[in-house]
């Protein structure tokens, strides 16, 4: 009698296919039912980011057994070797799709299992610090703060010379709007101040990567921000300036005065 238990686990070819994968994991399938077998696979410990790959292997094996059953209903024979190779190919494609950062994936199950069990990610680090502007340049750091999105917001910017000495700082609460509008207002106010003071070589820094990409036309601009962004682009063309993204840790002064002003009335 054809039962799910027989088809997916007890049949000799099913037993052979399961053991081919379970042997590397170091557990036996003898005497287990389907529920217990699935629990073993799902509870097997692996590197957290690869745990979902291990959980999928049981489904891949059962899928190949089910396809073989359907093929035999139409008088087509599927060999063990074909099923085993197809399982390995599916696992290989799954790892490539879900973990694109992993290189040189083995096509053999033993190599894949060693990868899943002993994977150690490469760690990268980046030193974050505020750096001095170039000679005869000034640097303007900008930031926007908000209690929600939308909510009460404020903008702030600070201007420093080639020695890192503070020339000017400004922050102001500007009512209820979105955090992106706060970032944009900060950049606009900072650039406008620098231009009014006659600074012609300006290094602008913001901790909003989205804003930088919109200003540089790498990302599409929402229509509500388009007019102000065009104004900033025109102002930047009138002076020698460029815009960079930095991390919040390197934008501490602008961040501090912006948060200080969020509950204050008037310009600080």
* pLDDT digits 0-9 by tens, 177-190: 888 999 999 999 99
104 and 185 housed in the same domain: no
What is the C-alpha to C-alpha distance for residues 220 and 215, in angstroms, rounded to an integer?
Answer: 10
Using alpha carbons only, give the angle 208, 225, 174 rounded to the nearest 5 degrees: 75
pLDDT of amino acid 209? 92
pLDDT of amino acid 140? 95
108 and 151 housed in the same domain: no
| Arithmetic mean of pLDDT, 225-241 | 91
177 and 73 housed in the same domain: no
| Arithmetic mean of pLDDT, 22-41 | 83
Domain membership of residue 33 (yes or no) is yes
Contacts of 238 (CB under 8 A, 6+ apart): 195
Give me the chain's average pLDDT, please: 87
Q: How far apart are the first and last CA of the chain?
A: 83
Indicate whether 193 pLDDT > 90: yes
Number of folded domains in the chain? Answer: 2
| Arithmetic mean of pLDDT, 125-151 | 88
Q: Are strands 201-206 and 240-245 parallel, antiparallel or unpaired?
A: parallel
Domain membership of residue 129 (yes or no) is no
| Arithmetic mean of pLDDT, 244-251 | 91
Q: Both tokens of residue 206?
A: 């913001």
Residue with the two structure tokens 């059953």? 69
Q: Note down the domain range covering 71.
A: 4-118
178 and 238 housed in the same domain: yes
Domain membership of residue 133 (yes or no) is no
| Arithmetic mean of pLDDT, 74-89 | 90
The residue among 83, 118, 153 that closes a domain is: 118
150 and 111 housed in the same domain: no
Domain membership of residue 236 (yes or no) is yes
Domain membership of residue 128 (yes or no) is no
Global confidence as pTM: 0.61
Kindly report whether the peptide bond that precedes residue 41 is cis, defined as omega within 30 degrees of 0. Answer: no
256 and 167 housed in the same domain: yes
pLDDT of amino acid 268? 63
Domain membership of residue 212 (yes or no) is yes
The residue among 67, 87, 118 that closes a domain is: 118
User: Which CATH number belongs to the domain containing residue 234 in this structure?
Assistant: 3.30.420.10
pLDDT of amino acid 163? 92
pLDDT of amino acid 99? 82
What is the C-alpha to C-alpha distance for residues 157 and 155, in angstroms, rounded to an integer?
Answer: 7
102 and 171 housed in the same domain: no
153 and 109 housed in the same domain: no
Q: Per-residue confidence at 101, pLDDT binned at 50, 70, 90?
A: confident
What is the C-alpha to C-alpha distance for residues 215 and 2, in angstroms, rounded to an integer?
Answer: 65
| Arithmetic mean of pLDDT, 123-141 | 89
């Amino acid at each position: 009698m054809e039962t799910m238990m027989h088809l997916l686990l007890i049949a000799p070819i099913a037993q052979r296919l399961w053991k081919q994968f379970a042997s590397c994991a170091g557990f036996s399938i003898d005497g287990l039912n389907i529920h217990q077998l699935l629990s073993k696979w799902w509870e097997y410990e692996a590197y957290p980011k690869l745990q979902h790959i291990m959980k999928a292997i049981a489904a891949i094996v059962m899928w190949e057994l089910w396809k073989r059953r359907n093929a035999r209903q139409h008088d087509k024979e599927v060999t063990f070797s074909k099923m085993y190779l197809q399982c390995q190919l599916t696992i290989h494609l799954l790892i490539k799709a879900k973990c694109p950062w992993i290189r040189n994936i083995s096509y053999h199950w033993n190599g894949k299992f060693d990868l899943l069990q002993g994977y150690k990610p490469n760690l990268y680090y980046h030193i974050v610090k505020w750096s001095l502007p170039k000679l005869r340049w000034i640097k303007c750091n900008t930031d926007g703060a908000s209690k929600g999105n939308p909510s009460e917001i404020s903008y702030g910017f600070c201007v420093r010379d080639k020695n890192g000495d503070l020339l000017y700082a400004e922050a102001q609460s500007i009512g209820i709007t979105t955090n992106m509008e706060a970032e944009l207002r900060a950049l606009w106010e900072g650039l406008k101040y620098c231009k009014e003071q006659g600074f012609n070589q300006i290094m602008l820094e913001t901790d909003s990567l989205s804003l930088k990409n919109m200003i540089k036309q790498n990302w599409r601009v929402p229509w509500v921000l388009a007019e102000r962004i065009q104004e900033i682009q025109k102002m930047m063309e009138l002076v020698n300036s460029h815009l960079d993204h930095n991390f919040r840790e390197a934008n501490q002064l602008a961040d501090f005065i912006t948060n200080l002003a969020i509950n204050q009335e008037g310009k600080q």
